[in-house]
Amino acid sequence: MTVPRKKKTTGDAPKPRTVSRMAAVQALYQMDLAGTDAGEVIAQFMAAKPAPADDKAEADREALTDLEGADATFFADVVKGVVRRQREIDPLVDQQLRTGWRLVRVDSILRAILRGGVFELLERSDVPARVTINEYINIAKAFFEADEPKVVNGVLDRIAHKVRAKEFETPGEGT
């Protein structure tokens, strides 16, 4: 399992869905690399008990990767949903990537982040599109320091404008 490089320290514990999203991205990464079944990886994450942290930075990382306090149902929904809709998700992402790039060419973690975000945009209308985009940008920032968070922002924003256009209309528009 890949461990995020850093986490902003705000003094507050991450929200349950934020932790669930991070865990879902890691589960999707594990499935992508090891070919693990969704049910198996979900069971592994649910059973995992973190070792005590040795320092503050490690404790901050664990707060994002430990499922304790997470919304386990939301975690499982994202993982299973990505698997169920992957044949629809991957072409949507491919269409938004720069010419010559395909989803299979991008980093495995970035691929997992994009798939999770697109699944939520497609199926989780209970979560505002802007919240989904922001959450997955923050997950990208936990793993990457370069342009990857910008890629996540650009791809998810363009897809959100297509699949949730009404959320981006200004008052009086389209009436």
Q: Domain residue spans in the chain?
A: 16-47+55-165
For residue 54, what pLDDT is reported? Answer: 53
For residue 35, what pLDDT is reported? Answer: 87
For residue 146, what pLDDT is reported? Answer: 86
The one-character DSSP state at 55 is: S
Q: Burial, 97: exposed, middle or buried (Cβ in 10 Å; 0-12, 13-18, 19+)?
A: middle
Q: What are the per-10-residue average pLDDT scores of the chain (175 residues)?
A: 50 81 94 90 78 50 58 94 96 84 80 97 96 96 91 96 91 59
Kindly give, in sequence order, each residue whose CB lies less than 8 Å from that of residue 72, ignoring residues fewer than 6 positions away: 20, 46
For residue 173, what pLDDT is reported? Answer: 55
For residue 9, what pLDDT is reported? Answer: 47
The alpha-helical segments, DSSP class H, found in the chain are 16-34, 38-47, 56-65, 72-96, 108-123, 129-143, 148-163
Q: What is the pTM of this model?
A: 0.82
Q: What is the C-alpha end-to-end distance of the chain, expressed in Å?
A: 48
Find the angle CA(132)-CA(134)-CA(135) to the nearest 5 degrees: 65
**Quick one: which of 143, 147, 19 has its CA closest to 75?**
19
Both tokens of 129, joined, read 């599109």
For the domain made up of 16-47+55-165, the CATH class stated in words is: mainly alpha
Q: Burial, 126: exposed, middle or buried (Cβ in 10 Å; 0-12, 13-18, 19+)?
A: exposed
Under 8 Å between Cβ of 127 and 13: no
For residue 63, what pLDDT is reported? Answer: 46
